[in-house]
Amino acid sequence: MKFQIFLVALGLLSDCRITSFTRGVSIFPAPPVPVPVRIAPLVSQWQSARYPGYGSAFLIFALATLVVILPILHRPTSAPGCPSTYYLYSTTCGRFCYRYESSECKSWTSARTTCRAEGGDLLVPSECFYQFFKDHARQNEGSCSNFWIGGSTTTPGSNYTSVRGDLISNSVPLWASGQPDAFGGTESCIEMFSSFNYLMNDAECSNSKGFICQLFV
């Protein structure tokens, strides 16, 4: 009898556990089956709801943005054979890489150090290609004014030499009218001076200016 009572009790307990388990499932129902969501219609509905009539304008704006941005992303940032940020100059006057620096203003010596650290030097003034750099100087202006180039002297007013050691005569036509004038007795580095239409001017070497680097490859 006791054994039968035990079996009945065990049966009831099992039933309770199953019931509890079943209820547990009902309390925490299975997650709903995902329904495929089509994004485009939702976006369209969202736009229509909030900006009725602007759907076409939004689409045109998005396409126009792509038309403007994509060419910028694909625009080459350097010339073949030149490091990034450098451009290639290649004519009968010579072939080398160059870059205008107009956002980091530096003294002549510091500018030269920068160019040399990149494997080049300050641009050597040459009658053959000076016109090219003169013509493109203004459009390369940034926060710095004017551009240091590779010429200096230890005797202000005369004996200017390029960073290669070549003499730069005072009579070379690259000088602006009346230059070099060794103004104040301390001007001993050569710049392309905007006020002189980017012709050469001797200036105080410690002044902070933009500069042009030249790199032979």
With CA atoms as reference, report the closest residue to 194 among 156, 153, 140, 151: 140
23-47 b/e (C-beta count within 10 Å ≥ 16 → b):
eeeeeeeeeeeeeeeeeeeeeeeeb
With CA atoms as reference, report the closest residue to 169 among 207, 126, 129, 209: 126
191 binds Ca ion (CB under 5 A): no
Nearer to Ca ion, 126 or 201 (CB): 201
Q: What's the closest the beta carbon of residue 103 comes to Ca ion, in angstroms?
A: 25
**Could you tell me which stretch among 17-25, 135-143, 156-164, 177-185 binds Ca ion (CB under 5 A)?**
177-185
Pick out residues in 21-60 that bind Ca ion (CB under 5 A): none
With CA atoms as reference, report the closest residue to 111 among 78, 153, 148, 144: 148
202 binds Ca ion (CB under 5 A): yes
Structure tokens at 31: 């997650």
**In the stretch 68-87, what mask flags binding to Ca ion with x, by CB under 5 A?**
--------------------
Count of residues interacting with Ca ion (CB under 5 A): 6
- Name the phi and psi angles at 99, rounded to 5: -155, 140
**Could you tell me which stretch among 11-19, 41-49, 80-88, 174-182 binds Ca ion (CB under 5 A)?**
174-182
Residues that bind Ca ion (CB under 5 A): 179, 181, 183, 187, 201-202
